[in-house]
Structures are given as structure tokens and as C-alpha cells.
Structure 1
Amino acid sequence: MRTVTFAMNISLDGYCDHTVFNPGESIHDYFTQTMDDVDLLFFGRVMYELMFPYWSDVAANQSGTADEIRFAEKLTSIDKVVVSKSLQSAGNNTRIIRGNPSGELLKLKQQPGKKISVDSVSLLPELMAAGLIDEFHLVVHPVIVGRGRRLLDQGSLDENLNLKLVDTLVFKSGAVALHYLKQ
């Protein structure tokens, strides 16, 4: 069975609004490396629309810094699934599913292949409750923002999910990458 990972940048106070972070080269490289063993990205619509077409354009036009281009090329080359009832079309190597995210992810998890990376804050509670997330890559940035989307809303989980810390990495910026496995 394939491993399902979840990766996200968050603030010290638990917000994951990408506009408040300045990841820099080392953090882009970190997230690029986390995708080395991934052959499928599983997005919610909102995250998909935040990521694309922006990163597709960076890859196609070679319009970012070297680390941004490496990240964009890796991200755009991987097959994607987007969960959306309203999205009418998606980019290359992207398939839209209309419902039952847990059931669809379970089917994908049972197929042969590399890891699946989930990139959706809105789907996270449902996928965690279904026991589908096996590991977490959280990069905690040294900023308190007090606004935006929280990683998890209050009451979004019925029970605690215990994790085991397996790796940490401290960046020059003061951000810390935490890699956890589900126990």
C-alpha cells in the first residue's frame, strides 16, 4: 500500500496562509526533495488554484529563481488529482474528481506506485479521520500572524492523532521542518 503524506508551511500560531511566508531557497529545496518519492499530488480546489497556473508558468517560462524553477518543474511533472464540484477544467496531467475524497484517496493508496502527497487544508480533517495520512512534513516559520486559514479548525477532529517525530531540520531563516509519522 502506498504512503500518503501531507506537507504544509505554517506559522507559529498555526496559520497556513502562503502569502505571509518568504520561503527562500533552502525551503523551496526542502519541499522539492520531499517530492522525490511522490508520483501523485492530491489537491483540494482552493489549493490547486493557488498553485496553478502560477507554478506551471514558472516552469514553462523559467521565470523564477533557480530554486523556484526546480520546485516548479518537479511540481508540474507529477500527476495530480483535484477534488472539486465546481472546477470545470484542469491543467495537464491533472484529473478532477467530484466527490468522496476519502474513498477516492483510499483507492489510489491501494494502487501500486510511489507516495501520494495531499495538499489540501480543507480536506485534511476528513482524510485524517479516515486514517489515510501516514506522514506529515510541516515547516514552522518564525512568524505569528493571527489571521488566515488555520491548519485545523477547532473541533475538526473527533480524537487526537498521535505522531512520532522522525526528523527535524532548522533553516537559516529560523524556520523548522518537522517530519512526523502516524503511530
Structure 2
Amino acid sequence: MRTVTFGINISLDGYCDHTLFKPSEEVHAYFTSLLNEVDLLFMGRIMYQLMFPFWADVAKNQSGLADENRFAQRLTAIDKVVLSQSLDKVEDNTRIVRSNPVEELLKLKQQPGRKISVDSVSLLPELIAAGLIDEFHLVVHPVLVGRGRQLLDGGSLPENLDLKLVDTIVFNSGCVALQYLTQ
């Protein structure tokens, strides 16, 4: 069975609005290394539209810094499944699924392949409740923002999810990467 991961940048006060802080070169390299273990991205519509066509354009035009270009190339090369009832069109190696994200992810998890990365804050509580997330990769940025999207809304989980810390990396920027496994 494939491993399902969830990774995200987050502020010290629990907000994951990517527009409120900028990842360093080390953080881009970290997420690129995580993507090297992945052969499928499982995305919500909002995250997909935040990421594409922006990163596809960076990959095509090599318009970012070197670390951003490497991240963009890896991200765009990976097959994607986007959960959406409203999208009409997606990039080349992407397909749309219209309903039942839990059933779809369970089916994908049982297929052969490498890791699946979930990239959707809105789907996260439902996928956690279904027991489908195996690893969490949180990069905590040394900033308090006090606004934006929180990782989890209050009351969004039916019960606590105990995690086991298996790795910690402290970056020169002050960011800390935390890897947790579900127990």
C-alpha cells in the first residue's frame, strides 16, 4: 500500500497562507526532495489554482531562482488528481475527480506506486478522519501572522490524532521542518 503524505509551510501561530511569508532556498530544496519520493499529487481545487499555472510557467521559462526552478520542474512533472466540481480544464498530466475524495484516495493508495502527496487544507480533516494520511511534513516559519487560513479549523476533527515525531531539521533561515508519522 502506498504512503500518503501531507506537507505545508506554516507560521508559528498556525496559519498556512503562503502569501504571508516567503520560503527560503533551503525550504524549496526540502520540498523538492520530498517531491522526489512522490509520483502523484492529490489536490483540492483551491490549491491547484494557487499552484498552476504559476509553477508550470516558472518551470517552462526558468524564471525563478535556481531552487524555485528545480521545485517547479519537479512539481509540474508529477501526475495530479484535482478534486473539483467546478473546474473545466486542467494541465496535461492532471485529471479531475468530481466527488468522493476519501473513496478516490483510498483507491489510489491501494494501487502500486510511490508516495502520494495531499495538497489540500480543506480536504485535510476528512482525509485525517478516514485514516488516510500517513506522514505530515510541516515547515514552521519563524513568523507570527495572526491572520489567514489556519491549518485546521476548531472542531474539524472528530478526535485527536496522535503523531510520532521522526525527524527535525533546523534551517539557517530559522525555519524548522518537522516530520511526523501517524500512530
Which structure 1 segments of 5+ residues have no match? none
Distance 2:11 2:123 in 1: 19
1:90 and 1:127 mapped to 2: Cα distance? 23
Inter-partner Cα distance in structure 2 for 1:24 and 1:14:
19
Per-residue deviation, 1:42: 0.4
Task: Please state if 1:61 is matched with 2:61.
Answer: yes
Which digits, 9 at most, give the CA deviation of each residue in 1:99-155, with x for residues without a partner? 100000000000000000000000000000000000000000011111110000000
Return the letter of the residue paired with 1:81. V
- 1:162-177 correspondence runs (5 A): 162-177=162-177
C-alpha displacement at 1:92, in angstroms?
1.1
Paired with 2:21 and 2:120, the residues of 1 have a C-alpha distance of 17
- What is residue 131 of structure 2 aligned with on the other side? 131
Q: Tell me how far 1:21 sits from its aligned partner.
A: 1.4
Partner of 1:159: 159
Unaligned runs of 5+ in 2: none
Aligned alpha-carbon RMSD (Å): 0.4
Letter in 2 for 1:164: K
Please state how far the C-alpha of 1:17 moved relative to its aligned partner. Answer: 0.3
What secondary structure, in the 3-state scheme, does the structure 1 residue paired with 2:13 have? coil
One-letter amino acid of the counterpart of residue 53, structure 1: P
One-letter amino acid matched to 2:121: V
Question: What is the identity, as a one-letter code, of the residue corresponding to 1:19?
Answer: T
Deviation at 1:20, TM superposition (A): 1.1
Q: How far apart, CA to CA, are the structure 2 residues paired with 1:142 and 1:62?
A: 29
The answer as to 2:77 corresponding to 1:77 is yes
Residue number in structure 2 paired with 1:42? 42
| Count of aligned positions | 183
Name the SS of the counterpart of 1:159 in structure 2.
coil
Shift of 1:173: 1.1
Q: Residue 179 of structure 2 aligns with which residue?
A: 179
**C-alpha deviation, 1:24, in angstroms:** 1.5
1:144 aligns to what? Answer: 144
Aligned equivalents of 1:21, 1:76: Cα separation in 2: 22
When the two structures are superposed, what TM-score results if normalisation uses the length of structure 2?
Answer: 0.99
**Aligned partner letter, 2:46:** V
Letter in 2 for 1:108: L
Deviations 1:140-176 (A, max 9, x none): 0011111110000000001000000000000111110
Provide the residue aligned with 2:102 in structure 1. 102
2:2 aligned partner: 2
Q: Does 1:15 align with 2:18?
A: no
Equivalent residue letter for 1:152 = L
Q: Sequence identity, in percent? A: 74
